[in-house]
Amino acid sequence: MVSRVIRALGLALALTCAGAHAGQGCETRRPTTAAVQRSLDLALATAQALDASGAQVVLLARAGQDLSRYGLRWSHAGWAYRDAAGHWRVLHKLNACGSARGDLYRQGLAPFFMDDLHRYRAGWVVPTPALQAKLRPLLMDDQHIAVLHQPRYSMVAYPWATRFQQSNQWAIETLALAAEPQADRRDRAQAWLKLQGYTPTVIHLGSFERLGASVSQVHISFDDHPPAQRFTGRIATVTVDSIFGWLEQRHLAGPVQEIAR
């Protein structure tokens, strides 16, 4: 049942600290007091900025990993929305540490940013009012929200296949479901995204990088990528940067807004 997948706020915080990550390693590092304080400051500043925006739903990103070598600024995104009590909640997909499984988590802003960040910076885009109106009830529906969720996780899942699913891929496919109710299967959601002109990021990886990742990281698989692309090191995957750019280009959301602490 979906209720077993969706975690409540308090439990989600514990699980985040205990080994749920957005495709990161499994190193156990006790956060410093300064790091915790910066995360809380970032969460508070983000809440205030989102309150001031008047939005009900935003796509919210964090920089948990340094992906600058690939030209990327953000590593992970989730859908942040106002709940019935007016509090901000974030619904997103996380990879269970040391496994090839992903689950959906419902958290507050503080747990979302309490994840050993590379940069203490938040980025978000505000969808159009019409799209927010479709997204919000979907995000609050425990049964409906997992329709497109695939537990088999790969950090570099191919955008146009259904064998695996990574965090940002779930987020954009969920947007497709909200915009087009008939996109109630992953292949249909992906077809809608293609029709709307979404273009994934192509990361260039050498053969030794691919081999090393496949052998040493259980949450990384290239098996779903077309052989012609895989063997030439052109790895297409869904990134926050590509989603942000596409949403603004298609006039489905405003420009990226940022705040740092």
pLDDT digits (tens, 9 = 90+) for 218-237: 888 888 999 998 888 899 99
Token output for 158: 């191919």
Q: Is residue 8 scored above 60 in pLDDT?
A: no
68-87: pLDDT as tens digits: 988 999 999 999 999 999 99
Euclidean distance between CA atoms 137 and 99, whole angstroms: 31
Q: Is residue 101 scored above 70 in pLDDT?
A: yes
> Average pLDDT, stretch 145-166?
96
* 167-179 and 186-195 helices, crossing angle to 10°: 80
> Average pLDDT, stretch 193-216?
74
pLDDT score, position 96? 86
H-state helical runs in the chain:
2-5, 9-18, 33-53, 109-113, 129-139, 167-179, 186-195, 207-216, 227-230, 240-249
pLDDT score, position 232? 86
